[in-house]
Structure formats: structure tokens, C-alpha cells
Chain A
Amino acid sequence: MADINPLAPEFPLVVDPEIGGPPTAPTGGIPATAGRPLSRFGRLGPNIVLIACAMFFSFPLIALARYSLQNVPTVLLGAHNLFDKWSWNGITLVFHDPHFQPTLYLSLRLALGTVVLTLGLLLPTAIWVHMRLPKMRVVIEFITVLPYVIPAIAMVAGIIVVKPHARWFLNSDYSLIPFYVILALPFTYRSIDAGLRSIDLKTLVDASRSLGAGWGTTLWRALIPNLRTAIISSAFLTTAVVLGEFTIASTLLKDTLPTFQATFLAVNAQAGYGFNLLALVATTVLFALLSVATRKRGSRASRRANKQDPSHNDVAFAAVSRNLAP
């Protein structure tokens, strides 16, 4: 709190008797937390659930790790050799496969393309809907959920019908991008939508325009910086979808990372699963980093607290301005 009151040194306060006394410093500190006694079960219960969940998720992963990374025949794996003969050698087979790099790069390019196209389409649309067509929000929301409800294989069936007429398009590797944009919609739209709800869009746009900014400047300087979190997380979700999509890529005979993973699994299951595990861990770490990075700026709560709190600063200001007013 102390740093919120820099007015104090700059302005020698002449206190108005009407205001009543000098602005008092906030009485310090956090109130002592009321010692709420937790019963033994109260403390234990949640922990039991937590441990059970942790076991449920970690045991299969540990099993997967042991299967793919321990140089021990599967039938001999047991509690006694938990720490024996761990090795990365299996996984390096994946990296040395001549198909690995090209498919990885293609998938990354597809991910980038999908992110760019998604944001290019979705940001203006979502902003427009929020500003001008608030009643359409329900409809748009419904449409964006469809890819989640309709299985990808249904879309594939549609593609096969269209294929003879659009060979020029479907022959390109990048023809996957529009499909991925659609597949990722349920995630991306929701993330952008939540971002737009968290800011006072209309006022920011009006303020920016009244200050002489056209739509482009408004988008670039006033909106995108305030939607950073939403944009980053939608980009991550899109990337996750692209790096995991198999059905459409396989049907259209594209060599993406997931199709490579599938074929490799058929050839060398141990190394293939090891690679899958690695991909899983890498994704998890990325998401964790993302949430840490975006939480740093989330001082929204403190801002709200500030609004509610008629800060003593304002009272000090009241005193000063009364004395300055003619």
C-alpha cells in the first residue's frame, strides 16, 4: 500500500476542515487469519483424492516410460529392477529416422499457418460480434462448438466427395490448414471470447477512435496488447491440435508428424511410445510455462480492488484541489 501514495511527499497538504483531518495511512497489515481448525479428516480427505488422482495419471505414464526407456525385456519388468538400465537410445532412433525432420517441419509450418489464419479470421469476427451483434454471440458459439461434436471422420467423408473437383487444392500440403482452423475453433473461439469479455471492449474502441485512431491502429495498439493472454493461449491450443491431428492428414495422404508417429509405432513400438511420452512431457512443460507467463500480468483483481476502494489518495486530492480552485 505504501507505494500507492506518492502524492504525499509532492503535495504539502493543507487540510480542509470539511474533509476532516489529514489523510490517514491505512492501518497496516493483513488481518490475522482466523484460525479455522480443520478436522483430521478435513485435511486428509482432499489429500487422499489428490493422491488417488496422481496415481491414476502417473502409473500408466511410469509404465509407458519403463516400457520404452528401460533396456529390459518387458516380461522381466518388476519392482526390483525399477532403476536398472534406463537409456535414451530407443528414442534417438526416432530422431534419426529420415522421415522425422521433414514431417516435424511440415507440422510446425502447418501449425504456424493455422495460428495465423485462425487469428486473422477470428479476431476481427469476434470483435465485430461483441461490438455490433451481441445477439449473434449464441449462434456463433453454437457454430464453433460443431467441430467438437461432429467427428473428424465426418469431415473426411465430405472431403472425399469433393476431392475429384479440388485436386489442385488438396494436393498441396497446406490444404490441411483450413481443416485445422475448423478443428481448433471450439478452443480458439472460446479463448478469444473469454479475452474479449474480460476487457471493456466498447469503451476501449470508442476511446481509441475518439483519439483519432482508425480501426487498424485501434486493433494494434488498444486491443491486441490487452488480449495478449487470450491470443497466446489460443495459439497454443491450435498448435496442440495441429501436432496431434491424425485422421484428416492420414486420409489426405500427408506426411505430418502424427502420421509419421503412427507409421513409426508400427515399425518400432518401443521407440515410438518413448517419443510419444517425450512429446507429452514437452507439451505439458510448454503449457505450464505459458500459464506462468500469462499469470504474471494478471493484476486484474488488484485493479478491481482499487476501484472499490476510495483511496486516501483521492481524499488527499480533494483537499488539495479545494485549495487550488478559484
Chain B
Amino acid sequence: MSGLLYISVRKTFGPTVALESFDLDVRDGELISLLGPSGCGKTTALRIAAGFEFADSGAVTVGGADITRKPAHKRNMGMVFQSYSLFPNLTVAQNVDYGLRTRKINSNERRTRVNEMLELVQLGSMNHRYPHQLSGGQQQRVALARALAIRPEVLLLDEPLSALDAKVRLALRDQIRRIQTELGTTTLLVTHDQEEALGIADRVGVMSAGRLEQLAAPNEIYSNPSSAFVARFVGSMNEFPATIRGRDAVDVAGLVVPTPSAATRVDGEKITWLVRPEDLRIGAEGEPGLAATVTSTTFEGASTIVGLRVDLLDALVKADLSSSTASHLAVGQRVSVQIDGARAVCESIGETKPVAEEPAA
């Protein structure tokens, strides 16, 4: 009933194109996160939904109704901002009440809803405090309560967790998801943190240069990226210079690996082959594979990241192994590297390099 739909939206700021033929369908009750490097247009997309910016062309609808030209205060959108946005002159309860007052709801109903919302974010006892008496995480919870109190058609979250420290971020992320599922509010979340995007959403939209590169379920985005950009931006990737062999294999420094990723390529084409660290296997020296030397091992608990220098390529690659497998490896040891090509991605040489991942704000 209240799905959010963008129809080929375009938005420019002077000479900069922020959004270009942007289509997105957030279904009723769904949580979609938009992920992308800074300047990819994800925040612009959110602000257009909120009515803070207007699309140059295209349309935005909520529950089928066109809201493209509707001013922000006449829309029914709940928004949580990256920076603390509580009104410093109002108490927690008054902040939550703000949107209800502007809607001229009667005072009994307002009081009930304010309490209800504060209970929902577990801040019922804080209603008389001022924002500056709260911690960052608490402020964002009040902001969430304030946004939800108006019973918005769509909840818009603009990097709501990026100002918080890691532990609080995780807890609040879980809580946002729990409340969102409970209320069934259609939600659009914007973030540059892939862990956050993948962890919370029903579907993830990866954006680049004003366009939606791929929109899919989190595991689909990770294991079946539609483009080299998505592959590189989500998770990490090893890059091998390689040549296409036939229609179903790739030649990496003499090692021919079968892979479905070669299907759309031409035989003999030179490519950069992107392989996830967990798709590398390490065998004993002399086994079939690429001869390499272990250069580093980084223990990360359940898994260990092994750095390798491949002889023929003179390139450093990383393998993500279970710690028990990696326990017998030592720096300087000679090994052979095998590649599982099932999830690999081909990138034509000369294809635009992706933007580096945005540093945490």
C-alpha cells in the first residue's frame, strides 16, 4: 500500500549529475539499503524521497500516488539523520511529539503515542530529559521514535549509525531491524558501510555514479555481483591478469580454470579476473596450481587471511582460509594456489576503475 517507487529520476546540481535514470521499487514493508561510495547519489535519492530536493525529471510515487512535486512538510515521511537532529530546546517527549503537534492530533492521542514510541525504543524513563543529557545512541533512538510517531508511509534513514561507536552501532542496527519488522514500515536506508547494508536489508541496491548498478538480496549481491564495480565494492577481491580460453575457462599464468564468468567473453580476450579471497585454495608445493610463497598470515579468529606472492605474476594476492587449515602455513613457505572459478567476475581491461571505498565519516 505504501511502496516507494522511483521512475527514471534524474537530478543535477549545476554541472554535476547526481542521479541518472534512477529506478527503484521499494515494496510495501520492505527494507532496502542503498550502498555506494560517497558522491554516488544515494543521499540525493533519499532527499528526493523526503522532498528536500526535487527531481529534474522522472517521478516518485508512494503507494501509487505521485509525490514528485509535493513539498517536504506535506509528505508523510519519517526521517532519521546522520547527525544528531533532535531539537535541543525540547525534551525527549516534546521531540517525539513535534510531528504530532504539527498534525494537530488531540492531546490524549498524542500522549499515548509518544509513550508508545518511547517504550518501543526503550527510552520510556527518559521522556523529561533534554537531548544534551543523552548519549549518541540514545539520541538516535529518540530520533527514530520521533520519525515513527507520525506513522510515516515510508521511513528514510540517512546513515543513522555512522556517528556511533561500533558496539552501539551493532545494537541499534538490530533494534532498527526489529522495530521495522514489527511495524512493517517500508524503509529506505542509505549507507556507505557494506556490513550495515548487507546485515540489515531485505534487498541491497549498489549505486555508482548516479545509477543503480545492482539491486538484489544481500547474499546475491555478494556471491553473484552483476558488475566488476559491485564485485569490488562489496567484500574484497583478488585481481589476476588473465586470458579467456574458449567459452568456459580462463587462463591465469598458464593455469586454466573452468569458470562460468567466461561465457560472455571472446576467446583470447585479455581480462582482469576478480576472485574472492575465500575462493583460493592452498595446496602443498608441487600440486597443480600457481606456485607461490606465503608472505604473511593474519589471524582473525575463525578465519586467517594468508598473503601470497605468485611467482609468475609477481603479484600479491590474499586467501581467506579457515584457521585450522591455515595453521600449518608459515611465512616463507612454498605452496601452490588453486582457484575456484564458480563466483569469479571478468573485467575488460580499460574498464573504468571503481572509486575507492569511502572512509568512515
Q: Which residues of A pack against B, CB within 8 Å?
A: 4, 6-7, 10-11, 19, 199-200, 203-204, 206-214, 217, 221-222, 225-226, 228, 299-300, 302-303, 306-307, 309-311, 313-315, 317-318, 320-322, 324-326
Contact = CB atoms under 8 A, between A and B. Distances in A.
A240 to B, nearest CB: 27
B223 interface: no
Given A200-B85, A204-B87, A325-B174, A315 B50 contact: no
Nearest to B167: A318
Contact of A317 (B77, B79, B122): B122
Interface in B92-138: 98-99, 102-103, 122, 124-126, 131-138
Contacts of A4: 133
A60 to B, nearest CB: 43
11 contacts: A211-B73, A211-B146, A213-B98, A221-B98, A228-B89, A306-B134, A306-B136, A307-B135, A318-B170, A325-B174, A325-B175
Given A199-B88, A221-B98, A317-B122, A207 B167 contact: no
A14 B222 CA distance: 35
Contacts of B73: 209-214
A320 B174 CA distance: 12
B132 A211 contact: no
B299 interface: no
B91 interface: no
B135 A6 contact: no
Contacts of A299: 132
Contacts of B156: 210
Nearest to A212: B102
Nearest to A200: B83
A234 to B, nearest CB: 18
A198 to B, nearest CB: 10
B240 interface: no
A207 B132 contact: no
Contacts of B138: 311, 313-314, 317
B171 A318 contact: yes
- Among A199, A211, A217, A317, the most chain B Cβ lie within 10 Å of the Cβ of A211
Contacts of A217: 102
B88 A226 contact: yes
A204 B171 contact: no
A209 B79 CA distance: 10
Contact of B102 (A211, A307, A311): A211
Contacts of A211: 73, 98-99, 102, 146-147, 150
Per CB-CB distance, the 6 closest pairs between chain A and chain B, nearest first, are A303-B132, A211-B99, A318-B171, A311-B135, A225-B89, A212-B102
B168 A314 contact: yes
Interface string B66-92: 000001111111110101111111100
A226 B122 contact: no
B127 to A, nearest CB: 11
A208 B74 CA distance: 12
Interface string B32-74: 0000000000000000001110000000000000000001111
B131 A303 contact: yes
Given A217-B102, A313-B135, A313-B138, A318 B79 contact: no
A310 B167 contact: yes
Contact of B171 (A6, A210, A321): A321
A302 B83 CA distance: 17
Contact of A203 (B50, B85, B99, B168): B85
B52 A209 contact: yes
Interface in B147-190: 147, 150, 156, 163-165, 167-168, 170-172, 174-175, 178
Contacts of B147: 210-211
B50 A307 contact: no
A315 B167 contact: yes
B99 A321 contact: no
B189 to A, nearest CB: 15
Contacts of A199: 88
B171 A314 contact: yes
A322 B174 contact: yes
Given A209-B72, A326-B178, 12 more contacts: A19-B167, A207-B79, A210-B51, A210-B52, A225-B87, A225-B89, A303-B88, A313-B137, A313-B138, A314-B136, A315-B167, A324-B178
